[in-house]
Structure 1
Amino acid sequence: MTVKYLICGAGPTGLGAANRLMELGENSFLVLEREAYAGGLSASFTDANGFTWDVGGHVLFSHYPYFDALLADLLGDDVLTHQRVSRVRIAGGWVPYPFQNNIRHLPPEERWECVRELLPGRRPEITPANFREWFEVVFGKGIARLFMAPYNFKVWATPPELMDFRWIGERVSVVGLEQVLKNIILARDDVAWGPNNTFHFPLHGGTGEIFRRLAARLGDRVRYGDGLARLDAEKRRATTQSGEVIEYETLLSTMPLDLMVTDVLSEAPNAVREAAKSLAHNSVHVCGVGVAGLRPDPTCWMYFPEADCPFYRVTNFHNYSPNNVARPGEQMGFMAEVSSSPHKPVDKAAVMKHTVQGLVNTTLMRPGEAEKAVTAWQMDVEHGYPVPTLGRDAALAVIQPWLASHAVFSRGRFGGWKYEVGNMDHSVMQGVEWAERMLLGKPETTYGA
């Protein structure tokens, strides 16, 4: 088989690319997907007890008119709009998100610690060399100790001193002493920060419904259960898991970049292979727990920096759509996320047990509810987040030019390995912009290649 464009992966980036090729009149393409479903890390699943779960806490917000129009076309009226209500569990209570903007809700000693370490002369006056130094310079050691350090280790499963900080952009609210004091004195909550303050969610089927509908438009140009197994980039020849050989002119890969170089490419220079081995990622264990009964709580999601629970985030998934539970209006669905890595090992077999106990410890579940849970669903995701380590950019500067010189373009959350452009809208647009680069010669502005 021969195609002009071969796309590996039917997640947001691969489907975005394929859809844009088709919109521009190019039909010589094929999408290979190793799983039996579309969506990648944005897929959704319905468990045996009728609860729907995402692969982690996804919400729909956008930086792009194209993405907005695509969602509107795909979902029509089958979408809900929410104002974000988010909280941080700390010191036995709840602080509105972002934590650093709302420390007035802390107990007096912790509140004073945060303010004291923001005072002139208290914050380190250095140029930060890593993520840990950055949040101590910006927020002071009080906010760093209480929230930034423990929470970020829980999320990334990587010591923050091994991470860069230049990926942050709009993902972290930067707050100064004046604003902190003003919020405390005026007893004002500062909760509107961030691009996801208003977000959308499908009425039925979870986030994965978006990509099921998008994949359906492509028909038999998406092949499931037959991913890329081997790639001869010199000859532009791909071998699928089923053994079929496909010749192509240009390849878009959305599979994890480390696996592409070390496991799939038939040959690559040692420098490229070593660079790929230096890329770091965490794993994420998603635990969905369904509970009978419904309590009034408008919270969308919550963050957990402390050690009384294994998860870093819990989503009230029943608040995203009532159809995410088997009996709308009568049940709750808590979706918890736990990270792991060599720096933070986790016993997969015990994650659910520890998660349920953590839900009780943090008051999300009442004593006795654990024994009456109506469903428990777990998914272990090997590649959870691409970690922006100190050496990441140098590694990408070796890998990506070599791939591009062989007509292989690696994009998406793990194909591009840039967390800062790894939101759902970013990922779709990486595929769209790649297609426009191929057919129209336009630059890729999101990935920056």
Structure 2
Amino acid sequence: MRTQYLIIGAGPTGLGAARRLSELGIRDFLVLEAKDHPGGLAASHRDAKGFTWDVGGHVVFSHYEYFDRMLEDVLGEEYLEHRREAWVRIAKRWVPYPFQNNIRHLPPEMAWDCVRGLLPHVRPALQNDHPAHFREWIEHVFGPGLARHFMLPYNFKVWATPPEDMDYKWIGERVSVIDLEKTLENLVLAKDDVNWGPNSSFRFPLTGGTGEIYRRVAARLGDHIRYGRGVVRVDAHAKTVHCDTGETYAYEKLLTTGPLDILARDRLTDAPDAVREAASGLAHSGGWIGGVGVEGPKTDSRCWMYFPESDNPFYRVTNFHHYSPNNTPDPDGMTVRHRAYMTEVSFSEHKPEPASHLDSVVDGLVNVSLMAESERDAVVSTWEMRLDYSYPVPTLGRDAALRTVQPWLEGHGIFSRGRFGGWKYEVSNMDHSVMQGVEWAERMALGKPETTYAL
């Protein structure tokens, strides 16, 4: 079969591209999806006990008018709005997020260690004009105290990668930097500073989890999406894609949203050695998502929590019952009689997986006081999903690798976008990912330049 525009993957990027092509009046396109459902890493699943779980801790906020309009179109008024309430668990107490702005909640000795590290004669100077890596950036910007107590252990828990192997240029709005004067003001005047960041308020679908957004987008595309088509080979010169069903699809332009390293290293039949080698150098973490449903009403108003310490395996826990009452199996949909803890654990060659995820997660929930010891018997449901690809890691060699791989692909009519297609964590939120697809479609159909994804 031949089509003008072929899209691999019905996640946010692929669906964003397909939706925009359809809006532009283009009908000659197809989306191939390996699974039997849309959404990719933004999908949601309902377990046998009636709990809904997302594939990770997603919240809906936006940098783009188009994305906002899309949400309004597909959700209507069927969503809830929340003010972010995020916390850090450290030293057996809760500290409001961002941690570095709220150290007044720490034990006095730890708070002083953090403040002292910010003093000009203590804060490490840069060895050159720019940090050599993420670790040097952390220690220079935050000082040794904040680095030791939070920034270094937490970031290793998230990335499963030594920070000295990572670049720092991706940071942008992802990390709240420190202001010594503001830190001292908050400390002395006992003030909290909790409004930093673009996700200080967010929306969430009333039913179906985050994946409901993409189920509704996909439903409008009808038979332009073909499920159960896993891509096994791409011939860049013949411009054909071969699926595990035995089908072959010919295309004029190809958008692929799966992992770039797998595409260039394993799927392309005719990529040069330099492209394969560059793609093989791209690094990523894996992830394990564990849902724990507990009988008993919610006991706090927190949205999500960060965990830098080693008395638990997870780096983040989401109070998923707080996002929507329909995420739990409560019959009236409003009086929440269950809690739904969604936990996230990373792994890599640098950070092995726990031997028993569910046991270690329940132990961790007890250790950090989210569950009482007596509530172990109140666990009524568990759900888990293992992700080989969770986060694309912005390593020191990432940008050079992308500058080798992406131009070669585009020279052959192949465009790789999305969280793992583009391999840029700094533009891989849901809104970024959708817009990478939208902007690709506009580039193909209208000749407009892409702005979200750039080398």
TM class by shorter chain equals: over 0.9
Q: For the residues of structure 2 that align with 1:352 and 1:266, how far apart are their CA atoms?
A: 40
**1:371 CA drift (Å):** 2.2
**1:13 CA drift (Å):** 0.1
Question: 2:344: which partner in 1?
Answer: 337
Question: 2:448: which partner in 1?
Answer: 442
Structure 2: which amino acid aligns with 1:446?
T
Structure 1: which amino acid aligns with 2:69?
A
**1:240 CA drift (Å):** 1.2
C-alpha contact (below 8 Å) 1:139/1:176 kept by paired residues: no
Structure 2: which amino acid aligns with 1:342?
E
**1:296 CA drift (Å):** 3.1
**1:262 CA drift (Å):** 1.4
- State the SS of the aligned residue for 2:356: helix
- State the SS of the aligned residue for 2:254: strand
Question: 2:99: which partner in 1?
Answer: 99
Question: 1:141: which partner in 2?
Answer: 144
Instruction: Give the length in aligned residue pairs.
Output: 448
Structure 2: which amino acid aligns with 1:36?
D
C-alpha contact (below 8 Å) 2:287/2:346 kept by paired residues: yes
Question: 2:320: which partner in 1?
Answer: 317
Q: For the residues of structure 2 that align with 1:232 and 1:415, how far apart are their CA atoms?
A: 17
**1:295 CA drift (Å):** 3.3
Alignment of 1:381-396 (within 5 A): 381-396=387-402
Name the TM-score, length of structure 1 as normaliser. 0.99
Deviates more, 1:45-54 or 1:120-129: 120-129
1:169 aligns with 2:175: no
Question: 2:245: which partner in 1?
Answer: 242
**1:237 CA drift (Å):** 1.0
1:418 aligns with 2:424: yes
- State the SS of the aligned residue for 2:288: strand
- State the SS of the aligned residue for 1:275: helix
Deviations 1:213-233 (A, max 9, x none): 000010011000112211100
**1:372 CA drift (Å):** 2.1
1:355 aligns with 2:361: yes
C-alpha contact (below 8 Å) 2:281/2:398 kept by paired residues: yes
Question: 1:38: which partner in 2?
Answer: 38
- State the SS of the aligned residue for 1:296: coil
C-alpha contact (below 8 Å) 1:42/1:207 kept by paired residues: yes
Deviations 1:8-64 (A, max 9, x none): 000000000000000001110000000111000000000011100000000000000
Question: 2:51: which partner in 1?
Answer: 51
Structure 1: which amino acid aligns with 2:193?
D
Deviations 1:369-396 (A, max 9, x none): 1122010001001100000000000000
Deviates more, 1:239-248 or 1:336-345: 239-248
Q: CA RMSD in A?
A: 0.7
**1:254 CA drift (Å):** 0.1
C-alpha contact (below 8 Å) 1:81/1:200 kept by paired residues: yes
The percent identity for this pair of structures is 63
Alignment of 1:195-234 (within 5 A): 195-234=198-237
Which of 407, 430, 434 lines up with 2:413 in the alignment? 407
Alignment of 1:271-350 (within 5 A): 271-327=274-330, 328=333, 329-347=336-354, 350=356
Q: For the residues of structure 2 that align with 1:247 and 1:172, how far apart are their CA atoms?
A: 43
Deviations 1:243-264 (A, max 9, x none): 1111110000001001101121
Question: 2:404: which partner in 1?
Answer: 398
C-alpha contact (below 8 Å) 1:9/1:227 kept by paired residues: no
C-alpha contact (below 8 Å) 1:98/1:191 kept by paired residues: yes
Question: 2:6: which partner in 1?
Answer: 6
Structure 2: which amino acid aligns with 1:33?
E
Structure 1 outlier segments of 4+, above 6 Å: none
Structure 2 unaligned spans of 5+:
none
C-alpha contact (below 8 Å) 2:298/2:337 kept by paired residues: no
